Structure 1
Amino acid sequence: MTSLYPDAATVARMIDHTLLKPEATAADVTALIAEAIELGTYSVCVSPSMLPLTIPAGTDLKVAVVCGFPSGKHHSSIKAAEAALAIEQGADEIDMVIDVGAAKAGRFADVQADIAAVRASVPGPKVLKVIIESAALTDAEIVAVCQAAVAAGADFVKTSTGFHPAGGATVHAVQLMMQTVGDRAQVKPSGGVRSLADAVAMFDAGATRLGVSGSTAVLSHAAAVDLAGSY
């Protein structure tokens, strides 16, 4: 198998170790942080009500927080305020959800304005990721939404919330998103990245970050591959 698979440590540094279940508790988030540090992931990704987080001194673990999650059907002013509060409470990155219905209706200028409103609340070098819910969109809609995200100043386009019945990330969507944004933004698959094979397929398609809740299983397999000396 031809693959760009690097090593377990590099895969770990691509992962936003994610916990977005509605029933998540403060104790669950504390455990998530400990796991993330042990695994060497890039960040933890949590719901905004879990902020502020206590990140142990001496670590470089980043904090990502969702915004307008999971439906995206919030007024732009509400999304912007939610993002601003999350930044104030220590978030390094914001993962916002677009109004998917606006995209389905072809209102891409409104999608761009929605993203721009949140971008204004997330000044650089803070990172803005835009969740487009790719499984619910046609290819043409994916392209148009990615173009709107780049025009609004997004740092990443992200496939999915993981909560939509249409499904999560696919290699096809990641490739299309990558082709559309080029070097103007990065691509983050999320929703359904459950195995090392999934992670490597997304990496090969051009992804530079992964949203993963089952990071331990993915990285345990990666460590085993490293020991075996081949993927």
Structure 2
Amino acid sequence: MNVNKLIDHTLLKANATKDQITKLCNEAIKYEFASVCVNTCWVDYCHGLLQGSDVKVCCTVGFPLGANATPVKVFEAGNAIKDGAHEIDMVINIGEFLSGNYGMIENEIKEVVAVADGHCVKVIIETCLLNDEQIIKACELVSKTKAAFVKTSTGFSTGGANPRIVKLMKDTVGDTVKVKAAGGVRNKEELKLMIEAGADRIGTSSGVALVSDE
């Protein structure tokens, strides 16, 4: 298994500079990561830097709270695709989910998937704010859409991914969608545990350390 191809090389901090984004893209090319994951303002820039490589541009939508109105998320996703994004990582409206408004959640995901126009959509359910029963329900909702992945975390809330939750998610979705583990994967042992638990993709800002001896 080429572990490098499982990694979304991530930089989502508010104070990320153009030089840091350039470094991110250069590292992604060097280590042949699956993608760089950035905020939408950097999509066009990353698209230009990564042309001619196999590295995809992934970006976040409705990040990090998920509390944007649906039309805002749809516009943001569509604009990102126009700018050259290959993958969209969207955050569900967690408050609406916890209020039991499951139809709204499912429809919002479907609208983002539709505007992504065949590009990969990953749905962040922010597992640290949910109990096991709620995680299962959220995964089931994602499975009913045409999203490609369900993702554990933004990395900006109260916690990130852990192997037990990744396994719970994988057991719930089976082969219907893939699972992305993100938030707190910082060393090779954690990476190994996430993959063994069923993660198909890893979101991390520690990608270089995970795949090299540097």
TM range (shorter): over 0.9
Deviates more, 1:51-60 or 1:154-163: 51-60
Residue 89 (structure 1) aligns with:
83
Residue 229 (structure 1) aligns with:
none
Could you report, residue by residue, the CA deviation over 1:119-162 in whole angstroms, capped at 9, with x for unpaired residues? 111121x1000000011101111111111112121100000000
Q: 1:56 to 1:140 in 2, by over 3 A?
A: closer
User: Residue 200 of structure 1 is aligned with which of 192, 195, 199?
Assistant: 192
Structure having the higher Rg: 1
Alpha-carbon separation, structure 1, partners of 2:8 and 2:170: 19
Residue 211 in structure 1 maps to residue 203 in structure 2: yes
Deviates more, 1:143-152 or 1:183-192: 143-152
Residue 47 (structure 1) aligns with:
39
Could you report, residue by residue, the CA deviation over 1:65-116 in whole angstroms, capped at 9, with x for unpaired residues? 0000000001111101000000000000000000111222222222111111
Deviates more, 1:52-61 or 1:176-185: 52-61
Query: 1:14 corresponds to which letter in structure 2?
Result: L
Residue 15 in structure 1 maps to residue 12 in structure 2: no
Tell whether the 8 Å contact from 1:55 to 1:61 is kept in structure 2 after alignment: no
Residue 177 (structure 1) aligns with:
169
Identity %: 42
User: Residue 105 of structure 1 is aligned with which of 95, 99, 107?
Assistant: 99
Query: 2:111 corresponds to which letter in structure 1?
Result: A
User: Residue 190 of structure 1 is aligned with which of 171, 182, 192?
Assistant: 182
Tell whether the 8 Å contact from 2:43 to 2:57 is kept in structure 1 after alignment: no
Deviation, structure 1 residue 55: 2.8
Residue 114 in structure 1 maps to residue 108 in structure 2: yes
Alpha-carbon separation, structure 2, partners of 1:35 and 1:150: 33
TM-score, structure 1 as length reference: 0.89
Query: 1:157 corresponds to which letter in structure 2?
Result: V
Residue 73 (structure 1) aligns with:
67
Query: 2:157 corresponds to which letter in structure 1?
Result: H
Q: 1:100 to 1:31 in 2, by over 3 A?
A: same
**Backbone CA RMSD of aligned residues:** 1.2
Give the SS at the match of 2:121. strand
Unaligned runs of 5+ in 2: none
In the comparison of the two structures, how many residue pairs are matched?
Answer: 212
Residue 228 (structure 1) aligns with:
none
Q: 1:40 to 1:144 in 2, by over 3 A?
A: same
Stretches (4+) displaced over 2 A: 55-58
TM-score, structure 2 as length reference: 0.96
Unaligned runs of 5+ in 1: 1-5, 224-231
Alpha-carbon separation, structure 2, partners of 1:177 and 1:132: 11
Residue 55 (structure 2) aligns with:
61
Give the SS at the match of 1:197. helix
